[in-house]
Amino acid sequence: MKVQYLKRMLIGLGLAMVLAVPWASATNYYVVASSQQPSPTWPWTNWGWAHTNLIEVVAAARDNDTVYVTNNQTYYLTNQVTVSYAITVRSWGPGRIMDPSNTILSGRYPDATNRHFQLTNSGATVAGFTLTKGCESNGGSILLQNGMVTNCTIVSNYAQNNGGNGGGLYIGGSGSGGVWNCVISDNTTSNFGAGIHIQSGGPWQIANCRISGGTAYNYGGGILANSATAGTIISNCWVVSNYARSYSGGIALYNAECHNSFIMGNTADLNQGGGIRIVGQNLLRNCLIANNICLSSSLDNSGGGIAANAGLIQNCTIVSNSVPLGAGGIRLFGSAKFENTIIWGNSGGGTYSNWYITAGASTFTNCCTSPNIVSAFATAVNTITNDPRFVNNATNFQLQSDSPCINAGVNQDWMEGAKDLYGYRRIDNFRKTVDIGAYEYLSKGTVFIGH
């Protein structure tokens, strides 16, 4: 009886304490252009009272609040907007939807040097803007130390001061978060990571983004990924048509994973890795690495598609990459593992067009390439040296029905429930064996049964 009484007393006391704590109410704030609001009225909590200064409104907001910014306007910033609470800053278009195309924040470069946002709270979100003409030494548009950026167009920003990094976004600090559903284009850096530079913290998620047109003086025309924490992943992204003067035209992968992504049409000028350069034990899975170029005329500095000293490359298609001399496909200067991967149709230096290996102890398991891997620095098992039979050797790298790569891979635990680059199941219910390359062959007339 005493125990039951004590339980009832504690439950009642707990309920009383909960009832005594007031619920935190969220506040909506509103921002319009100065031409629309001659006299903003505190507390700026409806459109009639809306403020014209985004910086001041965000400074007033607290956890769980939302700051709405009306569309069809360009807002010229006089300083960065610092988001240090768990608030959402987002555009407002017709029907309350986000409208990034018509809600533009300008950092006013070259007339001024302002980045757009600094995010320091794990609950901070910036959503639905075009962010342009920002300029800072680290993060021309955004310094992301914690939180999330989503549904933004981050275009024509600069990290050029004092050897700047991250023309679009500089990601670093002790926090975590990510970038989702963004277009990151035509950004420039005088150092590393023209589109995105991931320097520290994490894990970070870069997902469903298009990173294009970036120009880096050193590494990473598209992305430099060097998170301090395991678990940083680039997934379902298009990294296309970026340029690096030195290494890694598309991606410099130093401590991260890249899944289900297209790495295409990137250029490295002086050194290795037109598409991607992998340094360390990183994972590249279900990716297409195609039509990338390394302009170096040195055999050692080649690697039109991939240059790597380590890493695990699974079910990728590495095709139509080129160099003036050397390995148009892959250049290995350390111990890497290739599994279920196609390395085909790359151009460079004759024998070395698809691969060139000079150090380490790399392994190739159930891969398709030509010639067969015969090297003092690598071993190969179950290599296919016949044409993989793409649907189109220039534009469509899915497999034809007579491809020798169909059902020729090795099944692995990660494939259960996984999708290929086109969205098909890696292990289907009919053949039950994985194909080689980034794409699974789907027979015409195949019937899917949902459960």
Q: What is the pLDDT of residues 307-348, one digit of tens each?
A: 999 999 999 999 999 999 889 999 999 999 999 999 999 998
| Amino acid making up residue 38 | P
Degrees to nearest 5, angle at CA 330 with 326 and 331: 60
* 6 has a pLDDT exceeding 50: no
Q: Is the peptide bond before 38 cis (omega within 30 degrees of 0)?
A: no
Nearest by Cα to 344 from 299, 302, 305, 301: 305
Answer for the pair 122, 153: CB distance below 8 angstroms, yes or no.
no
**Band of pLDDT at residue 433, cut at 50, 70 and 90:** very high
Closest CA to 41 of 57, 55, 25: 57
Predicted confidence (pLDDT) per residue in 394-430, tens digit: 899 999 999 999 999 999 999 999 999 999 999 977 7
Nearest to 31 by CA among 109, 114, 87: 87
Return the H-helix or E-strand segment holding 11.
helix 2-20
Q: How many CB atoms lie within 10 A of CB 381?
A: 12
**Range name among 54-68, 114-128, 150-164, 407-421 with the lowest pLDDT average:** 150-164
Tell me how far apart the alpha carbons of residues 246 and 291 are, in angstroms, rounded to a whole number. 18
- 443 burial (CB, 10 Å; 0-12 / 13-18 / 19+) is exposed
CA atoms within 13 A on the CB side of 120: 9
Q: Based on the number of CB atoms within 10 Å of its own CB, is 67 exposed (0-12), middle (13-18) or buried (19 or more)?
A: buried
Provide the mean pLDDT of the chain: 90
Residue (of 61, 9, 1) closest to 30 by Cα position: 61
- Mention every residue, 6+ apart, whose C-beta is less than 8 A from residue 393: 320, 345
16: Cβ–Cβ under 8 A, 6 or more apart, which residues? none
Mean pLDDT to the nearest integer, 43-68: 97
In the chain, domain spans: 86-397
